[in-house]
Amino acid sequence: MANPLSTLGIIHTVISVVPVVAGLYGFSKYGAIRPKTDSGRIYVITLVLSALTSFGLSSTGGFNAGHAIGILAILSVVFSLIIARLGWFGRLNRYLQALSMSFTFFLLLVPAINETLSRVPPANPIGSGPESAPVQTVTAIWAVIFLIGICLQAWTIHRRPGNAALPA
């Protein structure tokens, strides 16, 4: 294997797959990641575990962009949970909660794109790191998908009868 994973790297990778699956389930069933649902709770817990385990990983030997993304993802989850509980922004709360949770999903996949393309196929990886053209191209496509997705989410929230709040 060209880029062997450490034990922590394997644990991190296994943990990191769970929020991807839970997030996709939430989007397909509810149109959003809803922290009060079972899939939402699983998503939040494993996303935080994924970010925390990433802090022990570093190809550069110190703080890197992946660590910053993990911190930003945790802060976005905390923001979403606080917004839902405190209601500081009135009618904007439901938008901010849904969009901040979607942002965490976007952030979750940015390092996943880099790591996957830098390791697959093992003998001749597609990318060679975040600066390689294939990784940047797929990341840019992912950003466009994210932007389209949050626009659709906002439109769906807006179109709810009586502008009802997001259920669970």
Q: What is the pLDDT of residue 86?
A: 85
Q: What is residue 60's predicted lDDT score, i.e. its pLDDT?
A: 67
Mean pLDDT of the chain: 89
The number of beta carbons lying within 10 Å of the beta carbon of residue 22 is: 23
Side chain identity at 52, as an amino acid letter?
L
- What is the pLDDT at residue 135? 96
Cα–Cα distance measured from residue 42 to residue 45, given in angstroms and rounded to the nearest whole number: 5
For residue 30, which amino acid is it?
Answer: Y
**Residue 1's pLDDT is what?**
41
pLDDT at site 63: 83
pLDDT at 163: 47
Q: Which residues of the chain have pLDDT under 50?
A: 1-2, 163-165, 168
Each domain of the chain, given as residue ranges in start order, spans 7-163
- 133-159 helix and 93-117 helix, angle to the nearest 10 degrees: 160
Q: Compute CA distances 12 → 15, 79, 96, 142, whole Å.
A: 5, 24, 28, 22
To which residue do tokens 């001749």 refer? 124
